[in-house]
A and B are shown apart, each in its own frame.
Chain A
């Protein structure tokens, strides 16, 4: 996966969020991308965590909003994969857990739902980079 491209897209998403907040309901573009990246391959957690910290600092002036959930995501995925086998259910649970943090940080329910839908789309696209040919 092209990490600089994803990071650039995150930056653009952050700029769009700040520039047009208040004009229309919009998703958290950057968090949708970053969550999708960690769901597609949990080994992405290092650069995803750094980008999430920057995302949190820009939006909330604090790194303790979405970052703890993003840090917990690969741990939960790894642990649950070991317990019940690799499955989609635990990844969906992790996605909802990470993106539900938006509700606590003052985003509207509509924004949160759009972000979940966007994340599923990005996740679907990113998974193809890691899919191994049979």
Chain B
């Protein structure tokens, strides 16, 4: 009788554990925990920031003066470039209108500091210090990084494109190719490309804009491996992200401008 009693208790414990795990799997608790830890991470990183600021403060006066002169010169050059950019943007908008090309703008950009990252080799999840909302697009200077998954005050957690739950519609520049990139943890898989249409190894795939989440034209991945699968229509194509966010301290966030 006691054996039967303890067996029931064991079964009840196993069922309870499975229920808890199933619930934890379904709810976005990890994201909220990351957001909750953000102030502690900031506090932990504070000494290194103070050290950096002190090192800057202790730099020689002459070096600071020469830096200032260089910065002023760069600023003047930047001002000229901004002016040139404005006129080019206007010209571009007119040309787009003439060629009937869809307007790819409609996003506001902001810089975001990387506060923390998941400790796996590829840093599949990031914590950013920025005002962002879920589904905002995160990019580095090299290409697409991922999507904002959750936010709180001025902190956001990002699911990168290496995460298996994210699929990005991609294409090749000036090509009708339409494919989907899915994360596989340490590499990417490109779906729905027949072998005869497969781009060459090294080709760079960019966002197609399909689906409306990712702006078109952002580099996503370069192809590293193509393999024919017997009996299958589509080839197995592996790729690596063009962006390297494992060591970047700053990233950019593109937020969609709400349509009026």
Contact = CB atoms under 8 A, between A and B. Distances in A.
B105 to A, nearest CB: 32
B43 to A, nearest CB: 9
A5 B246 CA distance: 31
Contacts of B117: 18, 21-22
B167 to A, nearest CB: 17
B120 A63 contact: no
A71 interface: yes
B24 interface: yes
A62 B23 CA distance: 10
Contacts of A18: 34, 37, 41, 116-119, 127
Which residue among A23, A62, A106 has the maximum number of chain B CB atoms within 10 Å of its CB?
A106
B125 interface: yes
Interface stretch (A9-17, A79-87, A88-96, A117-125): A9-17
B121 interface: yes
Nearest to A12: B44
B33 A58 contact: yes
Contacts, number: 81
A57 B185 contact: no
B3 interface: no
A78 interface: no
Given A21-B116, A22-B247, A63-B24, A58 B123 contact: no
A2 interface: no
B45 interface: yes
Nearest to B45: A19
Given A18-B117, A18-B127, A62-B30, A53 B24 contact: yes
Interface in B1-57: 17, 20-21, 24-25, 28-31, 33-34, 37, 40-41, 44-45
Nearest to B42: A19
A130 B127 CA distance: 39
B154 to A, nearest CB: 17
A69 B106 CA distance: 48
Contacts of A22: 117, 123, 246-247
Contact of A17 (B30, B33, B119, B122): B119
Contacts of A47: none
Contacts of A111: 119
Given A16-B44, A106-B122, A106-B185, A62 B25 contact: yes
B186 interface: yes
A19 B116 contact: yes
B25 A58 contact: no
Contact of B121 (A57, A58, A64, A106): A106
Contact of A107 (B29, B33, B120): B120
A116 to B, nearest CB: 16
Interface in A1-51: 11, 14-19, 21-23, 26, 28
Interface in B182-202: 185-186
Interface of B: 17, 20-21, 24-25, 28-31, 33-34, 37, 40-41, 44-45, 115-125, 127, 185-186, 246-247
Interface of A: 11, 14-19, 21-23, 26, 28, 53-54, 57-64, 67, 71, 105-108, 111
Pairs A-B, 8 closest by C-beta atoms? A61-B30, A106-B120, A18-B116, A57-B30, A21-B119, A17-B119, A63-B24, A21-B117
15 contacts: A14-B37, A18-B116, A18-B119, A21-B116, A21-B118, A21-B119, A22-B117, A28-B119, A53-B21, A58-B30, A59-B118, A62-B25, A106-B122, A106-B186, A111-B119
